[in-house]
Amino acid sequence: MERLRLHKDMDKVPEAGQRVTATVSTHNGEVVHEGLVLPPSSPKHITLKLDNGYNVSYPEADLISIEGLGQPAPASRPAVPAVNASSDLPRVRLIHTGGTIASKVDYATGAVEAKFEPEEMLNAIPELATIAQLDSVKIGNMFSDDIRPQHWNIMSKACTEAFEDGCVGVVIAHGTDTLHMTSSALNFAFAGNGERPPGVIAIVGSQRSSDRGSSDATENLLAAVYWAANGPKPTGEAGDSVVVVMHDTQSDGIMAVHSGLAVRKMHSSRRDAFRAINAQPLAKLHLEGSAFSATLTPSYEAARKNASERPISSKSSTYEPGQRLAQFIAGPWLHAEQVEAVVNTGVQGVVFHGTGLGHLPIEDPQGDAPENTSLWRSLTRCINRELPVLIINQCINGPIDMNVYSKGRKQQAMGLLGHGVSSTPEAMIAKLHWCLSQNKDITSAMRENLCGEHRENLYE
Please spell the DSSP secondary structure of 343-400, one letter per residue: HTTT-SEEEEEEBTTTB-S---TTS--HHHHHHHHHHHHHHHTT--EEEEETTSSS--
* 184 vs 217: CA distance, rounded Å: 22
Which of 265, 272, 297, 440 is the catalytic position?
265
Known catalytic membership, residue 115: no
Helices marked H in 385-441: 406-414, 425-437
Which of 47, 49, 97, 100 is catalytic? The answer is: 100
Burial category of 2 from C-beta neighbours within 10 Å (exposed 0-12, middle 13-18, buried 19 and up) = exposed
Closest among 246, 266, 107, 108 to 172, alpha carbons compared? 246
Cα(34)–Cα(31) distance, integer angstroms: 10
DSSP assignment of 235-283: -SSSS-SSEEEEESSSSSSEEEEEETTTEEE--SS-TT-EEESSS--SE
DSSP 3-state percent helix, strand, coil across the chain (nearest 5): 30, 25, 45
Helix (H, G, I), strand (E, B) or coil at 25: strand
Q: In Å, what is the CA distance from 230 to each residue of 226, 227, 425?
A: 6, 5, 30
For residue 315, give every residue at least 6 positions away whose Cβ sits within 8 Å of its Cβ, in sequence order, or none. 160
| Residue 202 bridge partners (DSSP) | 171, 243
- Whole-angstrom CA distances from 73 to 69, 76, 113, 140 are 11, 9, 19, 27
Look at residues 453, 412, 398, 456 and name the one whose alpha carbon lies nearest to residue 430: 453
233 is catalytic: no
177 has catalytic annotation? yes
Residue type, 256: A
Cβ neighbour number for residue 43 with a 10 Å cutoff:
7
Kindly give, in sequence order, each residue whose CB lies less than 8 Å from that of residue 132, ignoring residues fewer than 6 positions away. Answer: 85, 89, 90, 91, 92, 169, 225, 226, 228, 229
Catalytic member of 176, 178, 235, 424: 176
Q: Are 219 and 112 in contact (CB under 8 A)?
A: no
Is 440 an annotated catalytic residue?
A: no
The residue annotated as part of the active site, out of 104, 160, 177, 272, is 177
Please provide residue 402's backbone torsions phi and psi, each rounded to the nearest 5 degrees. Answer: -95, 20
Q: Which residues does the annotation mark as catalytic?
A: 100, 176-177, 265
